[in-house]
DNA sequence: TGGAAGGTTTGACAACCATCCAACTATCGG
DNA sequence: CCGATAGTTGGATGGTTGTCAAACCTTCCA
């Protein structure tokens, strides 16, 4: 299993971040990540009533946009928010979105 | 000619605003609006090398998302940014996006 | 009054998106 | 080693998007 692709901080594009967050499911994931600090994919699978492959698709979009970081822990996958990177690149953006979620 | 549809301030949805601004053309329009205060559609048509119907499509998305206000002046159309409405609904969001454009 | 200017609408089209499903890979527990 | 767990991948599908082009509608002006 190849390690997942994360864009470098400087390569995070505003249009991609905005597009990634313009979906209710991904906005919900973002809110959970912000509140809980991190989460395991299988936790969402148990709650969100979406096929696991659909969720996997959303994880990829968030990751490739630079919003989340994914790390492997055994057979589980752990998501965290790239808060520092996003704040460095687009100051205030994340906070204003999270305040509205 | 029916007057164009603008959502009420309370009806502006975060996902729609983010989606509206996740396109380079519309982000460019936003930047110009923020810098110049207002603009007439035909000015963009002369500069942006896109078919006028394509631009009309972008105007509609910005307007229906609640990002811009459109008013008719003779046969011209004048766009302004709904800055107060957006600030009231999503404090800080517009500023952080404009800072990154 | 007739033509030009400024936009909208409709249709077409290729590209993309969210979703599901089935099959697959990889890891853990017994 | 085997079955269960956790996700990814590829295909299919119905819907949406960005773009152009042609036709249309308003408004102005000469």
**Looking at beta carbons, which residues of chain B come within 8 Å of A89?**
100
- C-alpha to C-alpha distance for A98 and A9, rounded to whole angstroms: 20
Q: What is the pLDDT of residues B12-68, one digit of tens each?
A: 999 999 999 999 999 999 999 999 999 999 999 999 999 999 999 999 999 999 999
* Other beta carbons less than 10 A from residue B98's beta carbon: 16
Instruction: Write the DSSP assignment of B19-36 as a string of letters.
Output: HHTSSHHHHHHHHHHHHH
Tokens of A50: 């979406």
- C-alpha to C-alpha distance for B60 and B63, rounded to whole angstroms: 5
**Looking at beta carbons, which residues of chain A come within 8 Å of B98?**
none
Q: Is the ipTM of this complex over 0.95?
A: no
* Range of the structural domain that residue B80 is part of: 9-100
In CATH, what number is assigned to the domain containing residue B16?
A: 1.10.10.10
B8 touches chain A (CB under 8 A): no
Q: What is the pLDDT of residues A2-60, one digit of tens each?
A: 467 899 999 999 999 999 999 999 999 999 999 999 999 999 999 999 999 999 999 99
Does residue A64 lie within any of the structural domains?
Answer: yes
Interface contact flag, A91 B99, Cβ < 8 Å: yes
Does residue A48 lie within any of the structural domains?
Answer: yes
């Amino acid at each position: 299993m190849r390690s997942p692709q994360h864009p470098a901080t400087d390569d995070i594009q505003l249009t991609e971040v905005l597009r990634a967050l313009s979906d209710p499911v991904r906005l919900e994931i973002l809110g959970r990540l912000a509140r809980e600090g991190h989460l395991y994919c299988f936790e969402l699978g148990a709650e969100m009533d979406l096929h696991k492959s659909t969720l996997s698709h959303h994880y990829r979009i968030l990751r490739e946009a630079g919003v989340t970081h994914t790390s492997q822990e055994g057979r589980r996958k752990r998501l965290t928010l790239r808060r520092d990177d996003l704040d460095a690149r687009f100051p205030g953006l994340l906070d204003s979105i999270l305040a509205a979620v």
